C-alpha cells in the first residue's frame, strides 16, 4: 500500500510541476523600431522568431512594435539586440551597420 501512495504522490507532484511550468508568465513590451515599409516589417518580425517570443507585430505607420514574450526565456534587452542585429535601430540600441547597409534601398531610413 505504501508503494501505491508513493506512486500517487509522485504522479501528483509531476502534474503540479508541469502545470506550473506551462503557465509561464507572458510579458508585453512596446517600443519604437525605425523602418519604412512592409519589407521592414517582415525582417523585424522575423528577427524575433525565437524561443520565448509568442507574438511580434510592427506597425509601418507608428514604427512601434508590440511583443508578447516569456520573460523567463528571453529579456527585453535581448529583443532589442535581435532587432538591432537585423539592421534596425530601436529606442535602446543602434542597428548593426553591416546589416543596415545590406537592407534593400526602400528599407534604409534616415539614421540619427
Taking only the tens place, the pLDDT of each residue in 62-85 is 999 999 999 999 999 999 999 999
Instruction: Provide the pLDDT for residue 112.
Output: 75
Query: Grid coordinates in use for 97?
Result: 551597420
Instruction: Provide the pLDDT for residue 76.
Output: 97
Instruction: Provide the pLDDT for residue 81.
Output: 98
How far is 11 from 72, CA to CA, in rounded Å?
25
Query: Grid coordinates in use for 43?
Result: 525582417
Residue 17 has pLDDT above 60, yes or no: no
Instruction: Provide the pLDDT for residue 8.
Output: 65
Cβ atoms of 95 and 83 within 8 Å: the answer is yes
With CA atoms as reference, report the closest residue to 71 among 83, 79, 63.
79
Instruction: Provide the pLDDT for residue 41.
Output: 98
The model's pTM? 0.78
Kindly write down the DSSP assignment for every residue of 11-47, as one continuous string: HHHHHHHHHHHHTPPEEEEEEEB---SHHHHHHHHHH
Q: Which residue has the higher pLDDT, 21 or 88?
A: 88
How far is 81 from 104, CA to CA, in rounded Å?
21
At the second CATH level, the architecture of 25-107 is 2-Layer Sandwich (3.30)
Amino acid at each position: 500500500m505504501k508503494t501505491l501512495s508513493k506512486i500517487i504522490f509522485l504522479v501528483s507532484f509531476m502534474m503540479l510541476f508541469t502545470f506550473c511550468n506551462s503557465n509561464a508568465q507572458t510579458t508585453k513590451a512596446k517600443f519604437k523600431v525605425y523602418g519604412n515599409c512592409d519589407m521592414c516589417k517582415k525582417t523585424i518580425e522575423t528577427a524575433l522568431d525565437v524561443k520565448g517570443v509568442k507574438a511580434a507585430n510592427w506597425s509601418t505607420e507608428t514604427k512601434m512594435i508590440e511583443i508578447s514574450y516569456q520573460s523567463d526565456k528571453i529579456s527585453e534587452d535581448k529583443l532589442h539586440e535581435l532587432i538591432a542585429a537585423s539592421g534596425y535601430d530601436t529606442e535602446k540600441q543602434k542597428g548593426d551597420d553591416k546589416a543596415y547597409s545590406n537592407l534593400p534601398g526602400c528599407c534604409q531610413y534616415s539614421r540619427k
